[in-house]
Structure 1
Amino acid sequence: MCNDYRLEIDIASIAEDFDNLQIKIDMPEGAPNVPAREDVRITDTAPIVKSSDGAAAGSLVNRRWSWPGQGGKPVYNVRSERRDLGMQRCLVLCDGFYEFTDPTDPAQKRLDKWLFTLKDHRWFCMAGVWRDSHVGEAFSLLTMDAGPDIAPYHHRQIIPLPRDQWAAWLDPRVPAEDILKWLPEGSLEVTQVYGKPPAQGALAL
């Protein structure tokens, strides 16, 4: 499951791309501070676009990744299957996400780290949901069974959304099952990197 992603794109480019897609984005809390980060990790604050009233509209805000779940463990991934995903949807901004696998080199003690990026665009949105909790509003990444690009690395995956589906995901009237699908095979590029192993003691629902 994804517990680490990358966001190095600037806020001006993000706003310009939404404008080109005719998705109306407001910034009710001012322009979010979006420093370039190679690693966005669980409990970090990061920008999302929350669904607003009406289609093709949203609010760009900074929110915590993960809300406290049972026993206080952070809920950072939520299974998309058989859940009501109607109202509290969001787009999670990134330009890459990571998965970890057992080391290919037996001499290595740390896990191998793999970066997934989109071939056709320098940044993209992942499907997410948000909720209010005692630590404030927070978001989690939706997951589904892995598609062909990710299955060699993990049996589950987060859900990158094609650009022509961003507005639909922000519209709670559009059924989630019509949107949450695999990208076509070959859409993602994979690069091997190295980093810290996945966080322990966190919940993926």
Structure 2
Amino acid sequence: MCGRYAITLPPDAMAQLFAARPANALPAVPNFNVCPTTQVHVIRSGESGRNLVSMRWGFLPHWYKEETSGPLLINARAETLAEKPAFRAACRERRCLIPATGFYEWTKDTAGNRLPWYIFREDSAPIAFAGIWQSWGKDDPQETCAIVTTAANTAMSAIHHRMPLILEPDDWALWLGEEGKGAARLMEPGAEGVLDWYRVDPKVNSNRAEGEELIEPFEA
């Protein structure tokens, strides 16, 4: 699962990294507490090449009459992505990348308190989540997205049984549909030794928390 993350990379750096043309209106960075239903940075590919755009994090199937007509779909399971009615068309036709600096996950202590962890690439490179997107609404359509998740690898399973699907640069073009078919082979647990993590301050348990201190190591 991925329910909160951080992004510190400036839009021009994101555009350069992903070889994408940036849109004029993009979410502000840095953001150390990116939450569901907010606007997030997304890279998608089209006839004119790659574009860096803003989308609502929370996928809205076309049959939702209102944003709250059904469950909040911030994640999509890789194992059933091609089968679920909400996601199967997007899985075939509308895959995207969602950049991040790191993401949060939670464990619980013996008293049931939620203990947050900050998870990041061991090599300090930006993370590229695999995502899918959907344009929703007729009168004033908005573009929405979800992060694809997979079973946790051995190391991550100590924190949570799910993890976001993280793609390496060599796989970006295939996921975006630029290299034809075959993206299904990418939907596997991530390689071991790519991610690292540490405890962070419980203040990040609040979706209103802000500031760089959210991703700093915390000693209980």
**What is the TM-score of this pair, normalised by structure 1?**
0.82
How far off is 1:44 after superposition? 0.8
| 3-state SS, counterpart of residue 157 of structure 1 | strand
Q: For residues 121-160 of structure 1, what are the structure 2 equivalents within 5 Å?
A: 121-134=124-137, 136-160=142-166
Spell out structure 1 runs of 4+ moving beyond 4 A. Answer: none
Q: Deviations over 1:63-87 (max 9, x none)?
A: 1100346744311011111414211
How far off is 1:16 after superposition? 2.3
User: What's 2:15 paired with?
Assistant: 15
Further displaced range: 57-66 or 179-188: 179-188
CA contact (8 A) 1:100 1:114 kept: yes
| 3-state SS, counterpart of residue 173 of structure 2 | helix
User: What's 1:78 paired with?
Assistant: 76
Does residue 39 (structure 1) correspond to residue 33 (structure 2)? The answer is yes
RMSD (Å), alpha carbons: 2.2
User: What's 2:21 paired with?
Assistant: 26
Structure richer in strand, relative to its length: 1
CA contact (8 A) 1:6 1:40 kept: yes
| 3-state SS, counterpart of residue 6 of structure 2 | strand
User: What's 2:191 paired with?
Assistant: 184
**Partners of 2:191 and 2:59 in 1: how far apart?**
31
| 3-state SS, counterpart of residue 14 of structure 2 | helix
User: Which of 85, 103, 111 is the equivalent residue of 1:97?
Assistant: 103
**Partners of 2:206 and 2:29 in 1: how far apart?**
23
Task: Give percent identity, aligned residues only.
Answer: 26
| 3-state SS, counterpart of residue 159 of structure 2 | coil
Residue-pair matches, total: 187
The change in CA–CA distance for 1:31 and 1:174 in structure 2 (over 3 A counts) is farther
Which one scores higher on RCO, CA 8 angstroms, separation ≥ 6? 1
Structure richer in helix, relative to its length: 2
